[in-house]
């Protein structure tokens, strides 16, 4: 449940870097996603046509503020997105580090506070830092989007312990793994840990077959969530025979 909206698909799909609009359209359909993201600041000259293509997908659009480096830039971009798409949803990104694209925690909280007070439903792209997460929730965010690894790195869940701690701490806040996911198996792992959704972009868009990869991610996310609900067995330090010795027949 994201800001009162219940979704059936727990995969979200980014729309950048696809080889063609046709491939993007097919990937969206193959994935079965209900939410797609779009960056306003990184649009090309055909931005209006691209927005029309996404609007025709039937998905809910989650505009994002990718490329913004200050709170004021992010707030301005969010207002533009609300006017263009008629949605209060905004994925809030404020870049603080050029190499890792790690969010600026101070600007992120400042922008979140302004946007939440202005009626936006904010999806902040953050790290697994618990204090930062608390500050974002205090600012009014009802969803958190921690990274698995730096954007586009494909390294998966780099800080397993930190992400587990975040999931255990924010029991009532939907958590979406955003960034760094490079394979369907990594997406499944995130869902097995109890996260509510996964956002994928580069791993799908840059695949040899983006349409097939989109379908694979959808299956992996669904399988991971079902496994979490079913109850995964806890890891053991020692072997435990699946067939117990006690009660076995003695053959002579």
Instruction: Provide the annotated active-site residues.
Output: 91
96 is known to lie in a ligand binding site: no
What is the distance between the alpha carbons of residues 189 and 191, in angstroms, rounded to a whole number? 5
Q: Is 95 annotated as a binding residue?
A: no
159 is an annotated ligand-binding site residue: no
* 3-state DSSP percent of the chain in helix, strand and coil, to 5: 40, 15, 45
Report which of 75, 76, 68, 9 is spatially closest to residue 36, judged by C-alpha positions: 9
Could you give the CA distance from residue 238 to residue 2 in angstroms, rounded to a whole number?
Answer: 41
Q: Exposure of 41 by Cβ count < 10 A (0-12 exposed, 13-18 middle, 19+ buried)? A: middle
**Cα–Cα–Cα angle for 212, 214, 218, nearest 5°?**
115
Helix locations, the chain, DSSP H: 21-31, 47-55, 71-85, 105-117, 130-139, 160-169, 184-192, 202-205, 210-230
**Is 202 annotated among the ligand-binding residues?**
yes
Q: How many CB atoms lie within 10 A of CB 178?
A: 27
Q: Do the beta carbons of residue 60 and residue 34 sit within 8 Å? A: yes
SS3 13: strand
Q: Is 180 annotated as a binding residue?
A: yes
* Bridge partners (DSSP) listed for residue 145: 125
Q: State the Cα–Cα distance between residues 36 and 27, nearest whole angstrom.
A: 11
Q: Is 242 exposed, middle or buried (0-12, 13-18, 19+ CB in 10 A)?
A: exposed
Binding residues for 1-deoxy-D-xylulose 5-phosphate: 152, 179-180, 201-202
Binding residues: 152, 179-180, 201-202
């Amino acid at each position: 449940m994201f800001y009162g909206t219940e979704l059936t698909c727990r995969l979200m799909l980014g729309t950048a870097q696809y080889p063609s609009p046709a491939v993007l359209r097919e990937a969206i359909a193959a994935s079965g996603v209900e939410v797609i993201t779009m960056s306003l600041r990184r649009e090309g000259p055909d931005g209006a046509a691209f927005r029309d293509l996404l609007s025709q997908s039937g998905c809910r659009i989650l505009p994002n503020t990718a490329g913004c480096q200050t709170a004021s830039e992010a707030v301005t971009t969010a207002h533009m997105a609300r006017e263009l798409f008629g949605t209060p949803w905004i994925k809030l990104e404020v870049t603080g580090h050029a190499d890792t694209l790690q969010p600026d925690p101070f600007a992120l909280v400042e922008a979140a506070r302004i946007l939440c007070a202005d009626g936006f439903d904010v999806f902040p792209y953050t790290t697994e830092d618990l204090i930062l997460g608390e500050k974002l929730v205090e600012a009014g965010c009802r969803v958190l989007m921690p990274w698995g690894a730096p954007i586009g790195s494909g390294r998966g869940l780099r800080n397993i312990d930190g992400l587990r701690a975040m999931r255990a701490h924010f029991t009532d806040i939907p958590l979406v793994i955003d960034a760094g996911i490079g394979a369907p198996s990594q997406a499944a792992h995130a869902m097995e840990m109890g996260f509510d959704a996964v956002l994928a972009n580069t791993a799908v868009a840059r695949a040899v077959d983006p349409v097939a990869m989109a379908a694979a991610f959808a299956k992996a996310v669904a399988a991971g969530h079902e496994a979490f609900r079913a109850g995964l067995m806890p890891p053991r330090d020692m072997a435990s025979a699946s067939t117990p010795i006690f009660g076995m027949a003695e053959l002579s």
